Each structure stands twice: as structure tokens, then as C-alpha cells.
Amino acid sequence: MNAPPILLRTDDVVVLNKPAGLPVHPGRQGGASVEDWFPLLSRRRTGPWLAHRLDQDTAGCLLIALRRPALLAAQAAFAEGRAEKTYWAVVRGAPAGESGAVEAPLLRHAKGAQWRMVIDAAGQAARTEWRVLGRGEDMAWLELRPRTGRTHQIRVHCASLGCPILGDAVYGDGKGRMHLLARALGVPLQPPVAATAPPPEHMIPALLACGWSRA
């Protein structure tokens, strides 16, 4: 697999366009991961480091810190909700209305070796703002802005609206590849980070069907 494209590079950070299907960490069974390309990003004795994470099947903007002060500053921005994260998803069906927010706490639920996130009052607070960008036949193209950073947050919240993300094997029907893109990322570092990722090829037919234009 080729190295992920670089969307933005400064002396302190790199934003990669992570392909869908590529994990950020090596798995127990081996195989490629984002960390395989760290030696190509920096020859310093320490680092690089992941400043945050994306699910294996999510494509798009992934921030890598090349220096430890940038790592700490980025982690603080994510933890304090100062990082602006914008996602695109194509979902099965459509939510009621044109925009809104899901505010539903999430709790990890394990059963044997399997686990998933569930909406539970005992869980951590989670908020996702959404709006419809386009509609197709039995599908919709959503823009999503998570205001918290819980595991699988967008995936669970979309499912709770009655419109799971296409291809989501845990919270949807799992048919085909997952249609979730970390579209844009803004982080208040010095200099500021602002990057936008193009849709991956597997999402383009569904986006076109919902009114997206390549232009």
C-alpha cells in the first residue's frame, strides 16, 4: 500500500489523508498501519505521534505531531473541544428535518470478545450536530460536527436517528465499505492547522446520487 497522501505539513505537524481500511496502530495479527510511515515523516530521535485517532474504516484528516510540544498542544485542543472536526457521511434513509443535534451519552458494552458503544445514561456525555447536505433514493448525505470525542460517537448517533451509516458493520447493515469521511480538521496551533480531505473513491457514487458535485 502506498503512503497516505499529505494534506498539510508544517515544521510541527502533518495532516494525512488516511485511507479507509487502514488502521492507525498495528493490529495483533500484523498488517499495514499508519505508524508504518512514521519514519518517512520525521527522522528525529523521538516521534512522530498520533495526536488523535480515526476508526480503521473511516477515511480522511488525521493529525500527526512531529514534535512533542505540538503533540501536547494538539491533545489539549481536542480534549478541551477547541479542535473543529467536520465529517461527511452517507446514511441509509434520512433524519427527520434538515438539521439538529444528538445529545446522548455513550457507554462501552462488552459481550465476550465483542464490544460496541451503546446509548446509556451511565455513559459519557456526547453531542453531535448534523445537517443534511443532500438526499438520494433511500439515502442522505450528512455533515456532522462532533462536539465531544467519544469512541464510535458519530456512528452510534447516526444509528440513533434511524439512519445508520452505509457499510457500518457494527451499527448498520455492514453491506459494502463504510461511508464516513473525516472531511475537515481545524486545530488552533501556531501556525493554525486547517486541512480538507477529498472523498474516497468508494463514497463518490453515493455522494453523486445525493447531489454532490466533483466541482
Active site residues: 55
8, 22, 156, 198 from 17: Cα distances, Å: 9, 11, 23, 8
* Contact between 120 and 110 (Cβ < 8 Å): no
Q: Give the H/E segment covering residue 17.
A: strand 13-18
Name the grid cell of 96.
Answer: 427527520
User: Alpha-carbon distance 63 to 149, whole Å?
Assistant: 14
Q: How many residues does the chain have?
A: 215
